[in-house]
Amino acid sequence: MLTMLALNIGQVVTFDELIDELWGEAPLKNTRNALQANVKRVRRSLAELGLGGPDHELIRTVDNGYTLNIPADAVDAYRFLNTAGKGAGLVVDRPHEATDLLREALGMWRGPALLDTSDGPWCRAVALRLDEQRKTAREDLIAAQLQLGEAGTVVAELKQLLAQYPERERFSEQLMIALYRCGRQSEAVDVFHRTRKWLDQELGLKPNSRLHHLYQAILMQDPSL
């Protein structure tokens, strides 16, 4: 429940939304009372930690639900998204700053998103989105490193990432670029063919146009690479 409130800072989470998240299709006989009991328990736990109290209630009751009264930067997920977003915007023009911000953002992670929280549908969906943002931040960090001429540094990491997430064509693209810049053209070409085969066999898809154009550029030894 606290997770759902924390990831909706500044918004009211309705009683029905919380009940659906906590009990889903198997609600209790008196879910409203059970929800109120949960809120009291969370408020008490927060107070024991020195957070909130009678004069500054962190969980506020409104007409049809609850809202959490804390700043957004007190929530790790918001801090990660904000820091990663700033870093992504600096990759092309200020890659040194981008790498610092993206490493800071990725350093906030301590395991899978929303570990040990509700297993309800809303939390599961948010966890998936956060995990996707984490992968995107890793892609952005590697992009900044490639901007800084660190092709040799990222090859091993990219091979591991591509083995773990073969569906992410940007990792394939980055590995092809890194290998090519290290003078390993044939290996870069092999990455394209493996990616194409995997996409075809597993998803019934072809490589996107960006990856295909990169493949052609590598074959032609395009000096812009």
Tell me the pLDDT tens digit for each residue of 31-75: 888 999 989 998 888 888 777 666 567 899 998 999 998 888 889
Q: How far apart are CA 73 and CA 93, in angstroms?
A: 26
Q: How far apart are CA 8 and CA 11, in angstroms?
A: 5
Which of 28-32, 54-58, 132-136, 149-153 is predicted with the least confidence, judged by mean pLDDT? Answer: 54-58
DSSP assignment of 202-218, as one string?
IIS----HHHHHHHHHH
Q: What single DSSP character describes residue 111?
A: S
Q: Which stretch of DSSP H or E encloses residue 13?
A: strand 13-14
Please provide the CATH number assigned to the domain covering 2-70.
1.10.10.10
pLDDT for residue 221 is more than 90:
yes
Q: How far apart are CA 188 and CA 190, in angstroms?
A: 5
Please provide the CATH number assigned to the domain covering 151-225.
1.25.40.10
Q: Which of 16-25, 114-123, 197-206 has the highest mean pLDDT?
A: 197-206
Q: In DSSP terms, which residues pair with 59 in a beta bridge? A: 68
Q: How far apart are CA 146 and CA 76, in angstroms?
A: 28
Q: How far apart are CA 83 and CA 65, in angstroms?
A: 30
Q: Give me the pLDDT at residue 56, please.
A: 62
Average pLDDT, the chain: 93
- Between strands 59-62 and 65-68, the pairing is antiparallel
Tell me the pLDDT tens digit for each residue of 158-175: 999 999 999 999 999 999
Contact 127, 7 (CB under 8 A): no
Q: How far apart are CA 88 and CA 98, in angstroms?
A: 7
**Every domain of the chain and the residues it spans:** 2-70, 72-148, 151-225
Q: Give me the pLDDT at residue 17, please.
A: 92
